[in-house]
Every structure is written in C-alpha cells, then in structure tokens.
C-alpha cells in the first residue's frame, strides 16, 4: 500500500507542477485540465488512505497535509479571479500547494496508525475544520501576496484585498468551528474544556494572530500593507503548528 | 479624561494587547515544552487555580508569574473591550451600517463572556483527576456527594492496559463496549446512576464522571498470570460555568458567520 500511495503522491506532485507551469505560461485550458486531473488523483489517494485506515484522512502528518492541499487545490481551480498576468493569484495557490507537497516529502507516505478516537465525530471535526481553515488561510494569503505585488498607486480599493479579507474571515470561522469541536472533545475526554498545554497555547496563538489581522487600526494604504503582511504570515504560523504536531 | 477614554477604546491599544498576549502564549509554549516546568503545567491541569496558590511550593514562582501576568493582560483586554463596546454603541446610534456594527458589537460582548467563562472554569467547582478506583469503591465529593463504582466492564486484551488507550491496536480492545457503571449519591441517598465510556462521560447536572482509562489489575504485570478485574482511572469534575461557554461559543461563531455574509466584499474594500 505504501508504494501505491508513494506513486500516487509523486504523480499528483508532477501534475500540480505542470499545472503551475501552464498557469505561468497562461495556457488556461490546459492548466484547468491538469489541475482537475491533479485534484482527482489527490482525491483518489485520500479515499484510498481513508478506506485502508478506516478513518478520515484529516489527521496530522501526510494525510492531513494532503487533505489541506486538496481543499486549497479546489479553491485554486474554481474560485480564483481571472487575471491577465503570469504571476496571478492562481499561480500563487499552486506554489502553495507545491510547498505543502514539499513538506509531505518528510512524512511517511502511508495510512496513519489506528487510534480508536480517530473515528470519534468531534475529533474528526476538530482536525477537519483545522485543515479547511488552513486551506482558506493559504487561499487568502495568495490574494494578499498578489495585492502586495501591485504598484502602490493601484493598491487603494483593490478587489484582491477585499477577497483576501473574505477568505481570512472564512478561515477564522472554520478555525473556530474546529476549536468548538476541540473543546467538546476535551470536555468528554478529560472532563474540562481547557488544558494548560502547548497544544492549547498554540491554538490560542493562532486565534490571536487572526484577531490581530482584523484589529490593525486605520483605513489607509499603510494599514492595508500591514494587514496583508499579517494575513500572509498567519497560514505560516498555522502550518508550523501542523508540521510540529505531525513530527511529534 | 476624554483623551484617556479615547486611548482605552482605541484599536492601537487593542493591537498592543493582542501582541502582548501573543508573546505571553509563545512564552507559555516554551515553558510548557521545557522539562523544569512541564510538571507544573500538569499540576495546573489537575487542580483548580486557588489550589495553586494555597501551598507555597506547589507551583513554581515563574509559573505563578506567568499565570498572574496572563490574567492581568486579559483584564486590560477586558477594559479595552468595555470601552470599545461603549464607543461602538454610540456609533451604532448614528450609523448607516447599523446591522454589521450591531453584530460586531454582539461578537465582542460574547467573546468577553466566553473569556470570563474560561476564567470561571479555573476557579469555580472542583476537579479530582486520576482517581483510581476498583469495583465497589467510592470517592466522596463536596456538598455530601459521593461517586461509587458499581461495575467495571472491560472487553479486550488485558495486555493492552499497559498502553495508553489511544495506542491500542484495533480489535485488541473495544472502547465502544468497555465501560464502568457509577452511582451518584448525596448524603447516602441515591441521586443518579449510569455508565461512563471513553469519550462518553456520565453527567448529572454540572457534575461529570469521565472514564480516563482502565488500569491493569493489581499485582499482575504480565500476561502469564490470570488477571483479575481491571481498575479504572476517573476524572470527576464539576464546572458550573461549562454550559455558559458551550452555548456562547457557537453564538460567537454564528455572529462571525453572519458578519462575514453581510460584509462579503465582492467589490473594492470599504
């Protein structure tokens, strides 16, 4: 099974790379076709992991990252704005997907070990929502990166900024849904909804990052610049937490 | 005075507090990951906040400082929240975007209440963690309550008991049908009884009996001897503000969802 998943991983990675190249070359039809093919393969690997392990492929390590890449890929394929330039939002999304695939290199490409609580609804929701939140945050970051590439005179009232903000808010919403699932899990498993532990502090740190991004004062270009930087950094903080958990 | 109020309700002040909190939690992560303080945090989980300070050597001074500092920053955030909310109410009265401002106000107020609920859970009620009990044994609780273990039912391989429940191999241990039956009494009179499974605690009002794990029968470590009935490790807790948090948290999420929908920007940012 491990070799089948590894072959699938390499092929999906190749398809995503080709998608990025065709997006950079602005071969729109081909890039759309390749991205759908990559997503299909990604979905098949996720389904295979799920069937073999008997648990949803949302948990830390290889399956979790593959799930995040899949959701981000769906967003990149169907929700990106049309742009007349090489380094578009879509191109940044595929670069982010490839970053995730690069990190996956360091994880064992096999279904996760059986843990009895991995089929428990609140645990699945906790990890699932976190994965979705990170995908939205990356999608938002792609908009903000593009926003920052605009010349300063074109930054005021730029729709890229608005769309980046929308998806960051959606990411916050998904993350909080995950947190709620997490506190139900904690309450039922340990008799309390808060724990003094690194995992809880990391979650709080992510919430604070998101709060910070929405509380930067001022309605001027300088504030927007700062907001965009914080919004770009937030998925990196979230990804660090995912990677650290996956490694430990 | 007006300047002070303006400062206390300003967004600059909020961002300053949020940055302080980020540093504080980052410091907390470093402390919780370091060997000298890991046990201190475990103790903080076992006991409620008043007990950390009642015995001088129970918690290290640095962890006390960290906790007190966290509370102080949260109090400052609370003050900022109150002033900010008041300013929002005033703006709301003369605003054209009344709906989104009202929802934002509700989200902030609910956030404040959720944070208060968290603080309340550190100081109110009680918590008895890692209570090892055998069949027929009891533990007495405050206000005349007691929990008695009437039955322990373990389905699986006793060898598995030497591992953490999360590491159990599939099939060797059945968490779905392993449980303990507990009875809750008050001054000797029965109040309620039921079963506690893994991740499915027994609850009565705000008292919760959580099955943490089964432990190997006493005196038998290996697999050669015939093991007796396993013991159980329970967490018995009472949190009077639990429901406040569990109800208000989804309200806050719903508020953010509604706010997002009504302010979704398809056009340039405003």
Summarize pLDDT for A115-139 with one digit per residue, the tens.
778 889 999 999 999 999 999 999 9
Output the pLDDT for position B270: 40
Contact B232, B149 (CB under 8 A): yes
CB contact under 8 A, B265 and A163: yes
**Structural tokens at position A222:** 């300088």
Q: In this complex, which of A187, A195, A216 lies closest to B15 when CB atoms are compared?
A: A216
Do B268 and A193 lie within an 8 Å CB cutoff?
A: no
Helix/strand/coil for B39: helix
Give the pLDDT confidence score for residue A219 in this predicted structure.
81
Hey, are the CB atoms on A205 and B260 less than 8 Å from each other? no
- Note whether B155 and B230 are within 8 A (CB): no
Contact B200 A188 (CB under 8 A): yes
Q: Where are the alpha helices (DSSP H) in chain A?
A: 2-24, 28-53, 62-78, 89-104, 121-149, 159-190, 198-215, 221-247
Query: Strands (DSSP E) along chain B, which ranges?
Result: 126-133, 138-140, 145-153, 179-186, 189-197, 202-204, 207-215, 231-238
CB contact under 8 A, A116 and B170: yes
Instruction: List, in sequence order, every residue forming a beta bridge with B236; answer none if it has no partner.
Output: B128, B209
Residue ranges of chain B with per-residue pLDDT less than 70: 95-96, 163-172, 219-227, 266-270
| Cα–Cα distance for residue pair A231/A223, rounded to 1 Å | 12
B245 vs B107: CA distance, rounded Å: 14
Closest CA to A161 of A108, A221, A215: A221
Q: What is the ipTM of this complex?
A: 0.92
Q: How far is A196 from chain B (nearest CA, A)?
A: 6
Query: In chain A, what are the domain boundaries?
Result: 1-114, 120-248
Q: Which of A116, A170, A175, A215 to mutate to test the interface with B (most CBs of B within 10 A)?
A: A116
Lookup: tokens for B189: 């009179």
In the prediction, which pLDDT does B269 show? 44
B161-216 confidence digits (pLDDT tens): 776 666 666 666 788 889 999 999 999 999 999 999 999 999 999 999 999 988 88
Say if the Cβ atoms of A193 and B14 lie within 8 Å: no
Residue A152: its pLDDT value, please?
Answer: 77
The alpha carbon of residue A14 is apart from the nearest alpha carbon of chain B, in Å, by 34
CB contact under 8 A, A114 and B25: no
Interface contact flag, A208 B21, Cβ < 8 Å: yes
Q: How far apart are CA B60 and CA B94, in angstroms?
A: 52
List the single residue in A54, A161, A196 with the smallest CB-CB distance to B41: A196
Q: Which residue of B has its CA nearest to A202?
A: B29
Helix (H), strand (E) at residue B264 = none
CA nearest B21 in A: which residue?
A208
For chain A, which residues score pLDDT lower than 70? none
> Distance between the two ends of chain B, CA-based, in angstroms?
32
Cα B252 to Cα B254: distance, rounded to the nearest angstrom: 5
* Record: contact A192-B45, CB cut-off 8 A: yes
Domains identified in chain B and CATH numbers:
2-125 (no CATH), 127-238 (2.60.98)
B-chain residues within 8 Å CB-CB of A119?
A: none
- Tell me which chain B residues have a C-beta less than 8 angstroms from the C-beta of A184: 246
Contacts of B264 in chain A (CB under 8 A): 166
């Amino acid at each position: 099974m491990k070799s089948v998943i590894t072959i699938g991983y390499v092929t999906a990675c190749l398809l995503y790379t080709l998608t990025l190249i065709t997006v950079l070359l602005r071969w729109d039809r081909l890039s759309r076709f390749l991205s759908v093919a990559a997503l299909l393969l990604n979905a098949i690997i996720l389904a295979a992991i799920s069937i073999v392990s008997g648990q949803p492929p949302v948990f830390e390590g290889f399956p979790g990252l593959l799930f995040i890449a899949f959701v981000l890929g769906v967003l990149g394929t169907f929700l990106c704005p049309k742009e007349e330039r090489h380094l578009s939002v879509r191109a940044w999304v595929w670069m982010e997907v490839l970053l995730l695939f690069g990190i996956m290199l360091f994880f064992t490409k096999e279904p996760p070990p059986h843990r009895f609580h991995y089929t428990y609804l609140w645990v699945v929701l906790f990890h699932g929502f976190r994965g979705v939140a990170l995908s939205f945050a990356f999608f938002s970051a792609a908009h903000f990166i593009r926003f920052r590439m605009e010349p300063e005179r074109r930054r005021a009232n730029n729709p890229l900024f608005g769309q980046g903000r929308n998806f960051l808010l959606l990411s916050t919403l998904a993350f909080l849904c995950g947190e709620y699932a997490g506190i139900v899990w904690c309450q039922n498993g340990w008799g309390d909804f808060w724990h003094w532990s690194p995992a809880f502090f990391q979650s709080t740190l992510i919430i604070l990052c998101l709060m910070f991004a929405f509380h930067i004062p001022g309605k001027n270009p300088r504030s927007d610049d700062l907001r965009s930087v914080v919004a770009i950094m937030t998925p990196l903080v979230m990804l660090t937490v995912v990677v650290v958990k996956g490694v430990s | 005075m007006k300047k002070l109020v303006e400062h206390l309700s300003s967004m600059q002040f909020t961002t300053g507090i949020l940055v302080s909190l980020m540093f504080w939690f980052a410091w907390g992560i470093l402390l919780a990951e370091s060997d000298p303080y890991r046990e201190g945090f475990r103790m903080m989980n076992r006991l409620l906040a008043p007990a950390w300070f009642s015995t001088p050597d129970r918690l290290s001074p640095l962890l006390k400082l960290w906790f007190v500092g966290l509370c102080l920053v949260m109090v400052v955030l609370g003050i900022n929240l109150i002033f900010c909310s008041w300013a929002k109410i005033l703006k709301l009265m003369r605003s054209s975007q009344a709906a989104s401002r009202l929802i934002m106000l509700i989200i902030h107020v609910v956030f404040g209440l959720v944070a208060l609920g968290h603080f309340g859970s550190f100081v109110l009620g009680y918590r008895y963690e890692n209570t090892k009990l055998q069949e027929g044994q009891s533990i007495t609780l405050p206000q005349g309550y007691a929990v008695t273990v009437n039955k322990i039912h373990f389905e699986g391989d006793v060898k598995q008991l030497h591992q953490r429940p999360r590491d159990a191999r599939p099939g060797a241990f059945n968490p779905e049908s392993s449980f303990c039956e507990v009875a809750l009494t008050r001054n000797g009179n029965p109040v309620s009884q039921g079963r506690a499974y893994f991740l499915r605690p027994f609850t009565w009002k705000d008292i919760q009996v959580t099955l943490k794990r089964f432990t190997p029968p006493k005196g038998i470590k290996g697999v050669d001897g015939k093991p007796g009935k396993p013991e159980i490790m329970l967490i018995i807790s009472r949190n009077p503000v639990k429901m406040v948090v569990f109800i208000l948290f989804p309200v806050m999420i719903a508020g953010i969802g509604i706010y997002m929908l009504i302010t979704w920007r398809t056009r340039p940012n405003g």
